[in-house]
């Protein structure tokens, strides 16, 4: 096959690499199927870097929330029946917030004073990014090398190994920072046919400051031939959801194209607009992947490949085997959240005590 999809996960600890890779592939398949499109065979590789920051992966079968390896948001097939949130007011608020931050960070004095605050904020709220910038590997690497260097080497080696293929990179959350960092630091990498960023924090001032970037418009890496940015307006990590006004086009006139999507992922009644499995199953993501797999292929060869692969899916059911190999604990009923404004609950609590 002449093309490959490379996935890069985001913040926090994850399940083991094999399970996470299966869940990404299942989500991509469910997204394409849900969009009414036909799947095509494709190579998929996952850049897994959680093992550099955490001694053990999360375990999907653990039900004790207090266990250190408890997985709070496992893979799940999202349902399109969930009503989309009305985001018109929210988009206006986020646009206004972006305008205010843009004005503030144009002043060098404010930008410099923000440096210490941003470092403390990253350490407390975005520890993985802080460790990426300043930490050293403490697990599975006896040399104790800088985390940033090891992750960059992994991605560079992966991309160069597939330099003869058309490459699509799908980067979630901090994965988009890693991609941008690597592409700007290593200009001789192969061309990236398609870059899809999901829930990206690339527009956040604190992160740009620590990447030694100014808050002026930034250049799109030269290797990128097409860039689409997906963001749910309720995703707090991607509150600056529009990257098109933050990045200048590269020499090929390529700049980010923004898409606001509805991340329908929920687990036990709680919505998570930043979840990767929800992003992968959106119609926008499915359409971009489908177009990448079909681009520049002869119609007859494409039709034959499509029909043969869908027969293979029907007969051998590889995705069913993936689910069996990567089981998910059953989803319990939505939990009833007590409200401090519910007088009856407060009264009952007082009587019991």
pLDDT tens-digit readout, 152-193: 999 999 999 999 999 999 999 999 999 999 999 898 999 999
- Count of other CB atoms within 10 angstroms of residue 293: 23
| Strand-pair partners of 197 | 171, 229
> In terms of pLDDT, which residue wins out, 166 or 344?
166
Return d(Cα 190, Cα 167) in angstroms, integer. 8
- The number of CA neighbours under 13 Å toward the Cβ of 274 is 16
Per-residue pLDDT averaged across 70-98, rounded? 70
Question: Residue 134's pLDDT is what?
Answer: 79
Domain extent for 89: 3-352
Cα Rg of the chain, angstroms: 21
Return d(Cα 246, Cα 7) in angstroms, integer. 24
Confidence of residue 128 (pLDDT cuts 50, 70, 90): confident
Looking at the structure of the chain, the number of domains it has is: 1
Question: Residue 92's pLDDT is what?
Answer: 65
Which pTM does this prediction carry?
0.85
Question: Residue 75's pLDDT is what?
Answer: 94
Give, rounded to a whole angstrom, the gap between the first and last alpha carbons of the chain: 67
Confidence of residue 123 (pLDDT cuts 50, 70, 90): low
Close Cβ partners of 62 (under 8 Å, ≥ 6 residues apart): 69, 70, 71, 329
Structural tokens at position 65: 């929330």
pLDDT one-digit tens code per residue, 257-278: 999 999 999 998 889 999 999 9
Return d(Cα 142, Cα 313) in angstroms, integer. 42
Percent of the chain with pLDDT over 70: 75
Average pLDDT of the residues of the chain: 82
> In terms of pLDDT, which residue wins out, 291 or 327?
291
- The number of CA neighbours under 13 Å toward the Cβ of 190 is 21
Q: Of 242-246, 287-291, 294-298, 311-315, which has the strongest mean pLDDT? A: 287-291
Q: Of 77-81, 268-272, 327-331, which has the strongest mean pLDDT? A: 268-272
């Amino acid at each position: 096959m002449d093309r490959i999809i490379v996935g890069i996960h985001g913040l926090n600890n994850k399940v083991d690499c094999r399970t996470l890779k299966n869940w990404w592939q299942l989500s991509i398949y469910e997204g394409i199927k849900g969009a009414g499109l036909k799947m095509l065979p494709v190579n998929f590789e996952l850049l897994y870097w959680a093992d550099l920051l955490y001694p053990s992966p999360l375990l999907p079968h653990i039900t004790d929330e207090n266990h250190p390896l408890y997985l709070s948001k496992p893979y799940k097939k999202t349902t399109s029946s969930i009503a989309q949130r009305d985001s018109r007011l929210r988009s206006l608020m986020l646009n206004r917030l972006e305008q205010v931050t843009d004005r503030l960070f144009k002043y060098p004095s404010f930008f410099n004073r923000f440096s210490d605050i941003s470092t403390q904020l990253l350490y407390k709220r975005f520890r993985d990014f802080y460790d990426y910038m300043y930490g050293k590997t403490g697990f599975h690497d006896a040399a104790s090398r800088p985390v940033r260097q090891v992750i960059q080497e992994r991605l560079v080696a992966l991309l160069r190994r597939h330099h003869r293929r058309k490459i699509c990179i799908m980067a979630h959350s901090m994965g988009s920072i890693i991609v941008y960092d690597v592409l700007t630091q290593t200009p001789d990498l192969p061309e990236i046919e398609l870059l899809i960023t999901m829930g990206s924090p690339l527009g956040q001032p604190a992160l740009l400051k620590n990447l030694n970037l100014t808050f002026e418009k930034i250049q799109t890496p030269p290797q990128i031939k097409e860039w689409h940015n997906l963001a749910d307006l309720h995703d707090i990590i991607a509150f600056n959801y529009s990257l098109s006004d933050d990045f200048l086009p590269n020499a090929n006139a390529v700049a980010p194209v923004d898409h606001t999507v509805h991340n329908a992922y929920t687990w036990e009644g709680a919505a998570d607009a930043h979840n990767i499995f929800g992003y992968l199953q959106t119609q926008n993501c499915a359409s971009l992947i489908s177009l990448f797999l079909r681009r520049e292929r002869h119609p007859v060869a494409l039709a034959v490949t499509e029909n043969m692969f869908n027969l293979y899916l029907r007969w051998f059911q590889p995705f069913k085997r993936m689910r069996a190999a990567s089981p998910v604990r059953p989803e319990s009923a939505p939990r009833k959240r007590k409200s401090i404004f519910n007088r009856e609950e407060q009264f009952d609590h007082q009587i019991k005590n």
